[in-house]
Chain A
Amino acid sequence: MTKEINLTQSLKKLEEIVEWFESQQEVDVEKGLEKVKEGAELIKASKARLKKVENEFEEVKKELEEEVGE
């Protein structure tokens, strides 16, 4: 993972942008462009995060780590 992004927050922000667009009677193009840019960044980062990435699978070494905190 190159950069960890908070997917929950990214989605929330995206949703907010969509809502912003939907709530505007008349979209201000300048502002809209800003929002589109922001959205594009979020989408890019989120897609990168959602890209199929092999899972890390590791069996815990109970014996070794059992002592932690004992």
Chain B
Amino acid sequence: MGKDILQKLKDWRAKEARRENVELFRVISNQAVEEIARVLPQNKKELLEIKGIKEKKYAKYGEEILAIVRGEVKFQGSTLKIERSNLKIFEVGEYLDYLNEKLLNFEARVKGEVSSVDARGNYIFFGVKDKTGEGMINCFIWAQDYEISGVQLEEGMEVVVWGYPNVYKPSGRLSFQTKLIELVGEGLLKKAYEELKRKLEGEGAFAPERKRALPKFAHKIGLITSHQGAAIGDFVSNVGNYGYKIKFFDSRVEGKQAVFDLVKGLKWFNKNIPNLDLLVIVRGGGSLESLAAFNTEVFVREIAGSKIPVLAGIGHEQDITLAALAADKMVSTPTAAALEIRKSWDEAVFEIERDGKNILNIFEGALAVQKNEIREIEYTLSRKLGEIFERFRRAKENLEKYLAKMQFIVDQDKKYLSNSVNMLLTSYRRLNNNFTSLLKSLAERIILHNPERQLRLGYSLVSFGGKIVRSVKDVKIGDNVDIKISDGGLKSKIFKVEP
């Protein structure tokens, strides 16, 4: 029941908003709608207790809301009843309300020539008439929508107005509630495009220095495009699966009417999810007319002013859309936009592989160098150690050699010594023999020369004072001398000396 009422309330609100040409929440807040459906207020007092419904709102919508809650739908569904019975008598205002409600169904795009313009601050009255013929319609547009349309109305200008008819209650006059004014014909569109481009360019809206670099690894992404059409599919299927959080804002993209949704989308994201990494606006290519919304000043300014960086993937058949020119980055298709986003992710996969390999390679190289060094040290050490052993070995060898040599010398000496003894003995013996024979010969010679032998031969020896007298000078007259002869001695006295 409550759910049914909720839907009815929402339907009513949607119609009301459209009739008043305002946003849904301007009629009554979403929260309030749900609260009403839950509480089901039965009278004014109860309705006023709902948050968001004050006297002013009550005066405007109170009775209608209460009627819906009570199940007495005032207009919707009552049409048939009225027509069938044909009994109901309307008050004038009531009838006009009824009529306006019906007139909502006559929404249209009407083409004609501007016949008059009457700006009154908040809104503008203007007339549109047939170029040839008698038809003429009074139009009304809010200044805000006029601004969005971005068309400077001039008498004689050919335009298409988009809206629905409505009878102004106080005057009973029919006016065309205009939501949007469009220019007609490629020529005019092109001219308007060029003018706007020049103007925005002059303001620096497309200047490269005000463009921000798109964030690497965009993760939270706001996507603005149409629910229908190829663009969304192209984008989603090409962006890759990197766990993006894509918030999608469904927007019309065809024709100038799309400007409302597009502007709303941009505003919505900037207001509700300002920490998005990136806003993406995509649309396939099209004619100047079908891309009109993307060349609308309001939208272009909205892009230029977006706090969230904007990536535009908007196709175009002729001129690049001004929206794309104002974006931080533009590519020419939805697919290209997707690729632009995934680029850094794809590269990261590659870079990580490469860096990992580099690190390992270099480190393994370093390890190999180290291993080599260790091996070299090991080798050097073992070589040095070997050298020490070698020296020992050699020393031992030398020692052995010396020992052997010494042994040899000792042996030699021993032999020599024993030889020497023999030699000595022999020499001695020989010497002895020699000596003996010498002695013998000496003895013989002594014997031969023995003075006593001389004496026996008749010679005598004269001595004085025990000394042999060899010279006349050895004695003087009167000396007593001894004369020795072979068989005795004689004592004599010198009496004469004869030299």
Query: Per-residue 0/1 for B385-401: is the Cβ within 8 Å of any A Cβ (1 yes, 0 no)?
Result: 00000000000000000
B363 to A68, Cβ gap below 8 A?
no
Q: Is B433 at the interface (CB under 8 A from chain A)? A: no
B349 to A50, Cβ gap below 8 A?
yes
A39 to B355, Cβ gap below 8 A?
yes
B248 to A60, Cβ gap below 8 A?
yes
A70 to B25, Cβ gap below 8 A?
yes
B356 to A39, Cβ gap below 8 A?
yes
B246 to A56, Cβ gap below 8 A?
yes
B358 proximity list for chain A (CB < 8 A): 18, 21-22
B356 proximity list for chain A (CB < 8 A): 14, 39-40, 43
Q: Is B497 at the interface (CB under 8 A from chain A)? A: no
B241 to A52, Cβ gap below 8 A?
yes
B248 to A59, Cβ gap below 8 A?
yes
Known: A27-B362, A39-B356, A50-B345. A58 touches B271 (CB 8 A): no
Known: A22-B362, A64-B30, A66-B23. A55 touches B268 (CB 8 A): no
Q: Is B359 at the interface (CB under 8 A from chain A)? A: yes
Minimum CB–CB distance from A12 to chain B (whole Å) comes to 10
B268 to A39, Cβ gap below 8 A?
no
A50 to B348, Cβ gap below 8 A?
yes
Among A35, A52, A58, A63, the most chain B Cβ lie within 10 Å of the Cβ of: A63
- Total residue contacts A-B, CB cutoff 8 A: 124
CA–CA, A62 and B247, complex, Å: 11
Number of interface residues of A (CB under 8 A): 43
A53 proximity list for chain B (CB < 8 A): 241-243
Q: Which of B249, B345, B352, B366 contacts A62 (CB 8 A)?
A: B249
Q: Which of A21, A47, A69 contacts B362 (CB 8 A)?
A: A21
Residues 259-285 of B contacting A (Cβ, < 8 Å): 264, 268, 271-272
Minimum CB–CB distance from B42 to chain A (whole Å) comes to 26
CA–CA, A47 and B242, complex, Å: 11
Known: A21-B363, A36-B363, A47-B352. A66 touches B24 (CB 8 A): yes
Q: Which of A8, A24, A36, A66 contacts B360 (CB 8 A)?
A: A36
Question: What are 7 inter-chain pairs, A to B, with CB distance below 8 A?
Answer: A14-B352, A24-B366, A27-B365, A29-B370, A35-B359, A53-B242, A58-B245
**Residues of A in contact with B (beta carbons under 8 Å apart):** 1, 7-8, 11, 14-15, 17-18, 21-22, 24, 26-27, 29, 32-33, 35-36, 39-40, 43, 46-47, 49-50, 52-60, 62-70
